[in-house]
Homo-oligomer: A and B are copies of this chain.
Amino acid sequence: MVTGSHEAIPDVLADRYASSGMQEIWSPQAKVLLEREFWIAVMRAQRELGLDIPLEAIQAYEDVKNRVDLASIRARERLTRHDVKARIDEFCALAGQQHIHKGLTSRDLTENVEQLQILRSLRLLRLKYAACLYRLSGRVAEYRRLAITGRTHNVPAQMTTLGKRLAMFGTEMIFAYRSLEDLLARYPLRGLKGSVGTQLDLLTLFGGDTAKVDALESRVADQLGFREVLGAVGQVYPRSLDMQVLGALCQLGSGPSSFAKTLRLMAGLDLATEGFREGQVGSSAMPHKVNSRSCERINGFQVVLGGYLHMAGALAGDQWSEGDVSCSVVRRVALPGGMFAADGMFETFLAVLVEMEIFPAIIDAERDRLLPFLATTTVLMEAVKRGAGRESAHAAIKEHALAAARALRGGQSRSDDLMTRLAGDPRIGLSSAELASLLAADERFVGAALVQADAFVAEVAGIVRDQPEAAKLAPGEVL
């Protein structure tokens, strides 16, 4: 028997990857406290609006609200088989009162508190994502001029700069960031709606006074920090909201994930590594290895987010009449799971942005070796400008490029052999000297790369101006 084997199995995403800030939002203890504060807020507002709830009763609840004993609550749940009833009973027993949850149904409590957890999580992620953009823009500025072999279909295509490549991932991130802002601006609270959404019990409590019930709902929404409250709902808020939230996380993850995949490819060409901390071990067997473990993890998180989106998606459009909780276990898994995974992804991404190493000497060597091939579109354009037919010149260049590549792959020639071949072909109509001067104009081969990189840096600066804390956020310690 193992020492300590009776401990609970920890949530692996929370435990290994998520920040303490995100853990705070979703810990079972924190949730119990959040619920109690919600109940107290409702009681206070109910009292202010005329219900007969003694101040001493409210104080009695206040006095015990921090005494969160999960084991005791669990024991009650075993009896009642109803989780909210168990938490009501526990809180009332501690306080020696029966004044909470008046006119409410379970979902008036849990839906609103969960939406609060979601809202806070999204705000935390927004900040962290802005921090990622900030660090990324630093790298873009650093490498704005470093010419590198651009690749499509994983083979050399044309030249670009490393700064522009990084800005490309950043451009996707900015779009996702703006989508998150749209969502945050509109994310609505379910509100206090009762069992089937008609507010019947609250209306009964307030003698049918609609204005008072509206006032109660507004006060609670304000206090939770929501600007919008849904109108006609049932027992639950529409589950497509959860799907949209998880979808937003997947969208946020897309740019970092493509970045990570590309860095893994660059590591395979020895152009870069994600960095290697003092003491780190690459492989227990192969001591020389520098594995892209953090980048692989980023890609893994994207898959995990996809799985949680799958779960949330299966609940959207599956509401029966005024509602049900076939969603209960699903949301217990997918909502915190998605938040932990996104949080872990951005933490990891931040760390990679800080620690990654670029090897300009290798990048230069690759580019010089491939330059004659990368320049073929420029040759094509120049030939067309001088009157060659586009399609015949294309055919001629392709013929020579393939022959040159074939010779290279057979180990029979060097890459500059291609220019010699092109110079001799009348279909193209460019002399050896003209071709040589084309190749020498190295800077122009990166086209608008610098302009784009700089525009990206400027746009991120605007985002950071709005969220100055983003510039200060450092990566936490990554396992």
Contacts and interface: CB of A to CB of B under 8 A. Distances in A.
B316 A380 contact: no
A447 interface: yes
A266 to B, nearest CB: 8
A286 B24 CA distance: 33
Contacts of A244: 179, 247, 251
A429 interface: no
Main secondary structure of the interface of A (DSSP, over half): helix
A425 interface: no
A144 to B, nearest CB: 11
A404 B288 CA distance: 9
Given A12-B333, A101-B284, 15 more contacts: A5-B24, A8-B11, A81-B293, A88-B284, A102-B384, A154-B320, A175-B188, A201-B285, A201-B381, A261-B317, A262-B319, A264-B326, A288-B402, A303-B315, A310-B310
B451 A210 contact: yes
Interface stretch (A111-119, A122-130, A233-241, A467-475): A233-241
A464 interface: no
A3 B106 contact: no
Contacts of A255: 238, 240, 317
A320 B446 CA distance: 19
A465 interface: no
Contacts of A251: 240, 243-244, 247, 316
A203 B103 CA distance: 57
Contacts of A284: 82, 84-85, 88, 101, 104-106, 394
Nearest to A452: B232
A interface residue count range (under 10 / 10 to 19 / 20 to 34 / 35 or more):
35 or more
Contact of A300 (B8, B285, B330, B446): B330
Contact of A154 (B69, B98, B156, B264): B264
Given A255-B238, A289-B157, A365 B321 contact: no
Contacts of A288: 373, 376, 397-398, 401-402, 404-405, 418
B14 A8 contact: yes
Contacts of A213: 448
A200 B317 contact: no
Contact of A258 (B13, B28, B199, B319): B319
A153 B156 CA distance: 22
The 4 closest A-B pairs by CB, nearest first: A257-B317, A288-B401, A198-B447, A361-B411
B270 A268 contact: no
A231 B405 CA distance: 33
Contacts of A286: 105, 157-158, 195, 376-377
B8 A322 contact: no
A151 interface: yes
Contacts of A327: 300
Q: Which of A66, A101, A255, A326 is most buried by chain B, counting CB atoms within 10 A of its CB? A: A326
B210 A238 contact: no
Contacts of A235: 152, 157
Interface in A28-74: 28-30, 32-33, 66-70, 74
Contacts of A23: 9
Contacts of A319: 258, 261-262
Interface string A286-327: 111111110011011111101111110111111111111111
